[in-house]
Amino acid sequence: MTITGWLQAALVFALVCVFVKPLGIYMARVFEGERVFLSPVLAPVERGLYRLCRIDADREMGWKPYAFSVVAFSLVSFAYLYVLLRVQAFLPLNPQGFGNLAPDLAWNTAISFMTNTNWQFYSGESTMSYLSQMAGLGWHMFVSAGTGIAIAIALMRGLARRSASTIGNFWVDLTRCVLYVLLPIAVVGSLLLMWQGVPQNFAAYTTAKTVEGAAQTIPQGPMASMEVIKELGTNGGGFVNANSAAPWENPTGFTNLLELVLILLIGASLTYTFGRYVRNQRQGWALFAAMTIILGLGFTAAYAAEAAGNPIVHALGVLGGNFEGKETRFGVAASSLFATITTVTSCGAVNAMHDSFTALGGLIPLFNMQLGEVVFGGVGSGFYGMIYYVILTVFIAGLMVGRTPEYLGKKIERREVQLAILAALIVPVFALIPAGMATVLPAGLATLNNAGPHGFSEILYAYTSMVNNNGSAFAGLGSNLWWNVSGGVVMLFGRIAIMIPVLALAGALARKRAIPETVGTFGTTSPIFVVLLIGVIVIVGALTFFPADALGPIVEQLLNQQGKTF
């Protein structure tokens, strides 16, 4: 590990910290319909959209209509993308003349983007027309992120409101999120990327002759605009197959830094927004602190493992960190950082091959996802995932001090525990059970590139990534009917089966009265609570996945040290 490596990480984090407060306040104002500096430009557009869609912006919803709107919107969006992918060959903006997608691939891809997962069983540059990229995938990159943030805001309202029956209006929250938060940042971000050389055009691919005389096809397309929302919305779906490892998407050290900041930006700022909502900024900082510490631990472990390198390579006399599968312009530190940040959040972008990480280095991104991506997390989903853990922590801690547990003055009772535990079940159920099937079914094993523990890691990583709506791929896995269909199901449940309980939770909490805090109430802003929260997150994650991880990366690392590879 080097000083410069640590400085890179510190720089990313410092830049995020700069934006947390202003963006946090900005989002709180936007979602409560207050005037912000963009209102003169955007408010007329917003009103126009409401008129067009016949939305009554002043009418709030209870949790059930809110959830119904979310599900209905998601399903319609899914259907739209599915159809688009199935007929792209007949539509314009297809200079390379790509054909229509097969039904199973279209199903997988449409669910993948609708759920903010962005798992890709295809190569963008050889499959997708520009229209599919922009109007199909790009549309979902905005609205799936917006949906996640809207739900997080609804939950914040539930926590903040007292004896209330409503938690906001989904259509308004979604519109405001896309219009005031995502679009402005995306515009600025894509200009910066274009300045750094990321392509933004509708041109056909360029054919070039290399120095050696071979013909090379260089992809073109509206990449900068897609790239920025890929990061900002923690989507992760690359325009091209190599994702952020490719020079088109991530050409320089600066773009790498920019992309990392964009990934963390909204998730981190939402903790501040939360503090504003509950009128206690320390509550927001407590969550921010817990997230920061886990991120720090994750990066340290990944960086240490990658910097330590591969014992087998060392035996050949090549010392130093593990450079296999990494871009020279990023190196070990930036790749470890990218891997950590894209898996603690739900981004899933990659700037190196995770498959080529050391076994322990690969365990960290896997474990990050197994924790439920609550460390800043997916935009919105990270926050509400964290609240599930907070509820479990508060419940256990509250019992330990001898009071019916409460969070922010709201009693945590049967229903809250029920919903939190239901959500906690989703990840193990939809990661482990399909993985168990894939390890014994011929169809599951058919497209696996590696054997032994490494092959197992690839399977486990895939389902863990999909259920958490991450989209990060370990690679080493090909697409077939089994993977397309089962992956789609897993992604769908990983999104919907967690979102609906969140909204139910928001509704249940909004209805409650708030109890004034006394010295008998343990504080949820104290260091001891933060430590306990981290403990619950790590222990619950570790206990659930330790057996599986032991058979994957852990045993692989032990075997690597004995000189065995897979």
Q: What is the DSSP secondary-structure string of 88-116?
A: GGGSSS-TT---PPPHHHHHHHHHHHHTT
Dist. CA 223–CA 228, nearest whole Å: 9
CB of 223 to another protein, least distance (A): 39
- Considering only 17, 433, 446, 449, the residue that binds another protein (CB under 8 A) is 433
Does position 435 interact with another protein (CB under 8 A)? The reply is yes
Does position 544 interact with another protein (CB under 8 A)? The reply is yes
- Considering only 14, 89, 318, 539, the residue that binds another protein (CB under 8 A) is 539
Does position 532 interact with another protein (CB under 8 A)? The reply is yes
Dist. CA 438–CA 528, nearest whole Å: 41
Tokens representing 217 are 């096809």
Q: Do residues 358 and 306 touch, judged by C-beta distance below 8 A?
A: yes
How many residues in the shown chain lie near another protein by CB under 8 A?
65
CB of 561 to another protein, least distance (A): 8
Does position 481 interact with another protein (CB under 8 A)? The reply is no
Give the contact letters, 249-288, x = binds to another protein (CB under 8 A), - = no: ----------------------------------------
Kindly tell me which of 251 and 452 has the beta carbon lying closer to another protein: 452
Among the listed ranges 12-20, 22-30, 60-68, 519-527, the one in contact with another protein (CB under 8 A) is: 519-527
Strands 406-407 and 206-209: unpaired
- Considering only 397, 467, 473, 505, the residue that binds another protein (CB under 8 A) is 397
Alpha carbon distance, N-terminus to C-terminus of the chain: 26
Kindly tell me which of 432 and 491 has the beta carbon lying closer to another protein: 432
CA triple 217-211-196, angle to 5 deg: 60
Does position 513 interact with another protein (CB under 8 A)? The reply is yes
Phi then psi for residue 71, to 5 deg, are -65, -45
* 3-class secondary-structure state, position 206: strand
Spacing of C-alpha 261 from chain mean position = 14
CB of 501 to another protein, least distance (A): 12
If one counts every other C-beta atom within 10 angstroms of the C-beta of residue 565, the result is 12
CB of 423 to another protein, least distance (A): 10
Kindly tell me which of 57 and 551 has the beta carbon lying closer to another protein: 551
Query: What CA dihedral angle connects 490, 494, 500 and 502, to 10 degrees?
Result: 170
Give the contact letters, 406-425, x = binds to another protein (CB under 8 A), - = no: ---x--xxx--xx--xx-xx
- Considering only 446, 449, 547, 565, the residue that binds another protein (CB under 8 A) is 547
Kindly tell me which of 163 and 207 has the beta carbon lying closer to another protein: 163
Strands 410-411 and 406-407: antiparallel
Does position 522 interact with another protein (CB under 8 A)? The reply is yes
Among the listed ranges 29-37, 368-376, 437-445, 481-489, the one in contact with another protein (CB under 8 A) is: 437-445
Does position 392 interact with another protein (CB under 8 A)? The reply is yes
Kindly tell me which of 172 and 423 has the beta carbon lying closer to another protein: 423
Does position 400 interact with another protein (CB under 8 A)? The reply is yes
Q: How far is CA 482 from CA 334, 418, 439, 478, in A?
A: 35, 33, 12, 10
* 3-class secondary-structure state, position 398: helix
Give the contact letters, 77-96, x = binds to another protein (CB under 8 A), - = no: --------------------
Does position 54 interact with another protein (CB under 8 A)? The reply is no
Does position 159 interact with another protein (CB under 8 A)? The reply is no
Q: Say which residues have a Cβ less than 8 Å from residue 509's Cβ, sequence separation at least 6.
A: 155, 158, 159, 410, 416
In which residue are the tokens 């050889």 written?
A: 126
Dist. CA 326–CA 306, nearest whole Å: 11
Does position 446 interact with another protein (CB under 8 A)? The reply is no
Does position 365 interact with another protein (CB under 8 A)? The reply is no
**Buried (b) or exposed (e) across 313-352, using 16+ Cβ within 10 A?**
beeeeeeebbbeebbeebbbbbbbbbbbbbbbbbbbbbbb
Does position 164 interact with another protein (CB under 8 A)? The reply is no
Footprint of another protein on this chain (CB under 8 A)? 392, 395-404, 409, 412-414, 417-418, 421-422, 424-425, 428-429, 432-433, 435-437, 439-440, 452-453, 456, 513-516, 518-523, 526, 528-529, 531-532, 535, 539, 542-548, 550-551, 554-555, 558-559, 561-562
